[in-house]
Structure 1
Amino acid sequence: MLGRVHILGVNQSLLDLTGAHNLEDFVANRSKFFVSMTEKTVFKLMDLIRDGGGHFEEETKIKSLSGEIKKVVVRLKYPAAPPYNSVAITMLDVTKQKESEQKIKESEEKQKTILQTLLEQVVILDPEGGILYINHVAPGFTKEELIGSNWLQWLHELDQAKAKEAIRQTLDSDVFYELQLRFFGADRKMSLFNIRMIPMPDASNQQVLVVATDITDRKKAEDELKHSTKQLRELTTHLQNVREEERKRIAREIHDELGQQLTAIKMDLAWINKKIPAESVITADQISFKSKMHNLMILVDGSNESVRKILNELRHGILEDNGLREAIEWQGNQFTEVTGVPLKFITSETTLILPEDIANCLFRLYQESLTNIARHAKATKVISSLTIKDDAIFLTIEDDGKGFDLNLLRSNKSFGILGMKERVLSLHGHFELLTEEGNGTKINIILPLKPYNIT
């Protein structure tokens, strides 16, 4: 049928499209080009020529002389004015366009599949909060119900203004925005979501992509953990107070009972010793007896010294009677006397009137730190300082010893350091341990002096 059509001329673009060299080459091979031309197209072409007028357009495929298949849009148009004896045929190569459209379609399908499989809820909003797209909906809702509705209406009324402002700022600033919002479900049960907003790169740049993650259970678990941690620290404080009171009670009993008994024994031994005659007039047995009495008095003196040491460990009279500064200075002197390591204590505080729990905490931590240095650090000098600033008290202990690997400390579960840290945290303070192998150790302790309320 196409043979009945006389081709008057073709342009260079059509020659390039088909691979023909010239008009004659195109005419000679025209039956090879229209590989997918339908009968409908052919008859329409004939109708146009016969009836004289109108136009027609169809997407089809042609095959170039090199064998390459290309997609084209064929347009047929009859002249609007006489003579009505020709038809203009144009062919537009849309191969690359169709390939791009196919890739876009495949990409959109992949994106749709990904969005549908995400656990997070993905929503696209217009500037007023209208829902343009949603990947999946909560139980009790349908997509038909949500698409076109206003996203803000599903929020807790106290969060609506905040969410509207977040949408505005996201569009205005063209940056990522994050916040937490409360939503009501179909059953009016409230859930907490973490919301991330970014502007959508659409033509008008007036759409917001929202990724919503339900954190209701996580928030509940966090709150329960915080409450549990608060209770544990309150328990730690209570146990520390009980421990200090028990120390005091035991110290009083040792002082009042054992101390007095040892003193009485020493007095009786001294009385007996005086009743023994001088060595020049006593027998050998009496000399031996007098030597035993002397040994007993030495043992009693040693027992009294041991009692004093025990009492100092249990109840620091110097801390209660003279305060924290004097107690720290005394402990430093004791440390140097026992270890031979010089300790420099720096403070500008002349009078320290502190709550008992804070004073006890700092002194016990100071003791524990010096004990650790004596046992493990192999230090040649120690520097400590005590200052008060901005309603907080700062205690620092630093040595030039061998230090240690903090990661190794964590893996070994050092309960001594953990106990120190928890003791500080129980008073709402800050504990910091700085160390590395070969470079000594530094402990920073900060305790607030004003009441601290946990919200």
Structure 2
Amino acid sequence: MSGKAFATEEAPLTFGEFYEVVTGSPEMAAYVIRVGDDGGFRFEDANDFLERIAGKPLSEIRGARVEDCLPPDIADCLTNNLRRCVETGRPLSYHRTIEAPDGSHLSFKTSLSPVVRHSGPVKFVIGFTRDVTHETILIENAQHNAAMLRTLGMALPSSIYLLDLDTKSISFIGGSGDHIREDWRRKAEEAGSDAVDQYFHPEDRPRARAHWGDLAALDDGEVSMISYRILSVEGEYRRFENRETVFSRNTDGKVKLVLGISEDVTEHDRIEQEVRDLSTRMLTLQIDERRRIAEELHDSTGQHLTAAVLALRNAKSLPATAIQCSKTYAGLMAVIEDASSSLNEAQREIRVLSYLLHPPLLRSHGLAEALENFANGFGKRAGLKVDVLISPDASMIDDDTAVHLFRVCQEALTNVYRHAQARKVRVALEVRDGVIFLTVKDDGIGFDDSASDRILGVGLPGMRERMARLGGSVVITGDPGGTTLIARIPTGMQVGLHIHEALPLGRTSPMLRAASSH
């Protein structure tokens, strides 16, 4: 079909047709504003949509002033913008949100275009106002959701990233971090596919590249987990655990972007290793303690029992006729007395060792009475005179600290019994200048400081281990006049570490009862 034939088939669009279509739009208000000589504004013409905004029929709107047809706030806004449009002679647009009578909010977007002629002032302005309430709500919701995602991303302790499998580059989209870590992330993003060579541990680089092939084969919703050692901002390699899943695909269905969450687990690994090391040390100390008790039973208690057995065997070997002789009878009584003495000594040692291994349940009121009851009970069984001095401030010691102090006192009194050859021992628990002091002092034979670990065996390392866990220390001094053990714990550190476990010592704490019963 030629252009000439086309021109003859269709008549040109008339202005009346154009005007009718525009003003007949059900989606927006179309109106013509006449500018009066006095600077006022009147509606020259309008479509039906304006009736919804004005709340009046068109017959009352045409020829009426703007301020007489619209609510005051809408009329003022339209009048001000009409004035700007007339003064500048240029089109303008503005957005307006109003509150409806039912409390909801309505949003309108208005465009004003002045009719500019070759001469004379502007006499007409054509306006279009469209209801954009729904679009505004969608935009506000999208902005709100985006802000929430950014806030959530910054609040997470982990790094959130997108891995592009086509370019092998990474983009961080969230995760908390200071400006130093933000700079590190920016450099990692700029490195692109070279980031693996620059930041991954050399041993992990081949595994990282092979992992990209696995990610390309992921199904939607499937999660892949892998860990790498990555060079941190501190200049050390730290282990990160990564969880990754498909985020988007290309038009051909291939995986394009992978969403990942990376978490630094180096500190977690360190804590786990410390727990394993501590468990190993405690198990070693327990085994050594059992070995020491076995040696005590064998070397000391066992010898007493052996002596008693030999004495009784000698008595049994005497002939019956010889017993009738008074001299022989006196010798028999001496043998029996030796056996009885050996058995009594063995019995006393067994009672002491049993008390150390499993003290009776102490239903006392906290650490003060637990220490006093244990020390006095120990003294009676070991044949020692025990003096106990406990400061009133000791009632402020928290439960966890009390358990460790009780164990240290228990071990210290054990060493007094085994090594000191003492007759008296003094136990003091005080709180001075923010420091807890547990002192155990005896009047025994003392020892050489350099040989303390050898003489006191596994007990001293155990005590030092307990105090070190609470930020404290154990010091032991010895001289010919006796031995003194002092355990120190800063109370400030304990408040910070154990305030959540602290119990009023006006009643028996479960932890302390457990400590005094094992």
TM-score, reference length from structure 1? 0.46
Question: Which structure is higher in RCO with an 8 Å CA cutoff and minimum separation 6?
Answer: 2
